[in-house]
Amino acid sequence: MNSNIQPFPDTFVTLLSKALSLGLITELPDQCTVNRYEPGQGIPPHIDTHSCCTDTILSVSMCSDVVMNFLNASSGELTVINETNNGKQDIAHYTGIIPVLLPRRSILVMSDESRYAYTHGISIRQSDLVPAKTLNLNQESTEVNQSLTLMKRNLRVSLTFRKTLAPTALCNCNFPAHCDSQKDKQI
């Protein structure tokens, strides 16, 4: 172990230990990137370098909510398979950007396909459109109505935790088209 690496603050250790006990990660991270985003700032869509760290990346959102956009870097399409009550599969195909609301005090877990094959980024803008649910209570039924609302951005701080790989380690993921370790193996 490198003696120059200082342990994380106790608050981080508590959070990471809980993530480990919940099975969100399989080993404790050894690296943390702290980003501060003022309203209107963002980060361009990207895929984190494959050979820099292990499969799972955790990102904690603090101070305010924000929308992060995901996009399949190969096809731009996401296939979601849900089991229905009658045991059949409901298959839905989504094309284009998939906006995901990251509430403050939430943890985003990226692993496998979302880690290796999807770009993620935060658009540069002052506000985000987010789904809003409202209850319609009448005498005959209770309905949930969905609409969109404009959410003004505020200061956001993110903590992104990774477990680094050894400098000579190579990624051996199942997504060679996006992998810096496997790009020379491409035909």
* Tens of pLDDT, residue by residue, the chain (187 residues): 455 556 788 889 999 999 999 999 999 999 999 999 999 999 999 999 888 899 999 999 999 999 999 998 887 676 766 777 777 777 777 778 889 999 999 999 999 989 998 999 999 999 998 877 666 666 666 666 778 889 999 999 999 999 998 888 888 888 888 888 787 665 4
Give CA torsion, residues 174, 180, 185, 187, to 10 deg.
Answer: 90
CA dist 67 and 126 (Å) reads 11
* Amino acid sitting at position 109: V
CA dist 97 and 162 (Å) reads 25
* Tokens, residue 95: 């094309």
pTM for the whole thing?
Answer: 0.80
**Cα atoms in the Cβ-side hemisphere of radius 13 Å centred on 164:** 10
